[in-house]
Structure 1
Amino acid sequence: MSSEKELLRKEYKQRRKELSREELERLSLKVFSKVEAWLATHDTYRHFHLFFPIQKQKELNTYPILELLQREDKTVYTSRVIPGKAMLETLVLPAHPEFEEDDWGIPVPKDAKLTDPDLVEVVFVPLLAFDEKGNRIGFGKGYYDVFLSSLDRRVCKVGLSVFPPEGLIPTNQHDVPLDFCITPEKVFTFSQNSSF
């Protein structure tokens, strides 16, 4: 099972690598448009956790989402890796954040303050691939699975993907499924929770 996940991880890393910067930006803007529409129908949420793109991994551009959330007076959080631990700590972003890259190339906001992750209502989740059941494949470090597992189960987990879903991805016991996944073409809904 893990070998199948590794093959998919390798395949999607390669597919990302083959995207031009222009194509990635075009797809990112299409995802942003779908995020904007999704937010309009989920406007009671106030507290959003957002990841920022690792350039060398060609992650989609989430800065327009940050700008949109802040324009709408939402509180935005992100995470940074706790050195020496396979864990994330939660930061609340200032009004006009400046970013610096950590050792992994992850943009981390300067002047962000540590905060309680229990405030988070929605997490935008990075991924390499996802399937029609809401399972996802990340980069294999497990940081987000640990983070998502630590949150209240009612927290809404929204994947962002430039690619459409796989049919089925093998899962492990510690994997945390998505409630939604937003792609350039459509919003996929997986959760049966009526609060979403």
Structure 2
Amino acid sequence: MIDKNTLRKAYLRKRRLLAEEEFTRRNQLLQSRFERFVEENVPKAVHTFLSIEKQAEVSTFPLIAIMKEAGVEKIAISKSLPAGELSHYWLNEKAVLKNNKWGIPEPVEGMAADIHELNMVLVPLISFDKAGHRIGYGKGYYDRFLSKIPNVITVGLSLSPPLDSIPFTGELDVALNYCITPFATYRFQ
């Protein structure tokens, strides 16, 4: 039987193997969908992950520009801490970024963000299913983070369409409210 870790490795490998032109095309299509989504939902304070280039994640820096243009008042980013926690900072002129050991751009200096001000979180993922469950990188950082702000709108970003189902969800896994892909925007109950 296939387990979550096997699926994680398979779909991460598949994403990394996207040709550069296809990767660029999918990001551009996703950016268009994201722009419409932000205009329709008008969030005031959004938390976003910053893309890991070597993992061929959705390019989030263009999405940050879209949010700023749309009038999002505050954008927060995170720093990974020991014990699987995240600390949060406002992305502004005081934020100084540096890649951590996993290649994730993180703030080394900046103004601490209050996560209770957030009304939307952009969630990284490797794959997701039609019920809004996701496969992340397996460390649980985002599940712990999202459990602290249960009323926030969670939006996954994926360069691929959903799986039919992910049978390995646990009680600590936080499901998505939406997932934006190059091909469609999904809304979950």
The 5-angstrom pairing of residues 72-91 of structure 1 reads: 72-74=70-72, 75-82=74-81, 84-91=82-89
Structure 1 contact 28–184 (Cα < 8 Å) conserved: yes
* Structure 1 residues without counterparts, runs of 5 or longer: 192-196
Q: Does 1:161 align with 2:122?
A: no
The 5-angstrom pairing of residues 2-13 of structure 1 reads: 4-13=3-12
Structure 1 contact 25–61 (Cα < 8 Å) conserved: no
Aligned to 1:117: 115
SS in 1 for 2:66: helix
Q: Which amino acid aligns with 1:112?
A: G
Identity %: 36
Structure 1 contact 77–91 (Cα < 8 Å) conserved: yes
Partner Cα separation in structure 1 for residue 111 and residue 20 of structure 2: 32
Aligned to 1:127: 125
Cα displacement (A) at 1:96: 8.2
1:55-111 Cα shifts (integer Å, max 9, x gaps): 1111111111111112233210011111x2210111111148553211111012454
Aligned to 1:172: 170
Structure 1 contact 49–77 (Cα < 8 Å) conserved: yes
Q: Which amino acid aligns with 1:164?
A: P
SS in 2 for 1:159: strand
Structure 2 contact 97–109 (Cα < 8 Å) conserved: no
Q: Which amino acid aligns with 1:114?
A: A
- TM-score of the aligned structures, taking structure 2 as reference length: 0.93
Partner Cα separation in structure 2 for residue 10 and residue 111 of structure 1: 33
CA gap of 1:112–1:73, structure 2 versus 1, over 3 A, is farther
Aligned to 1:194: none
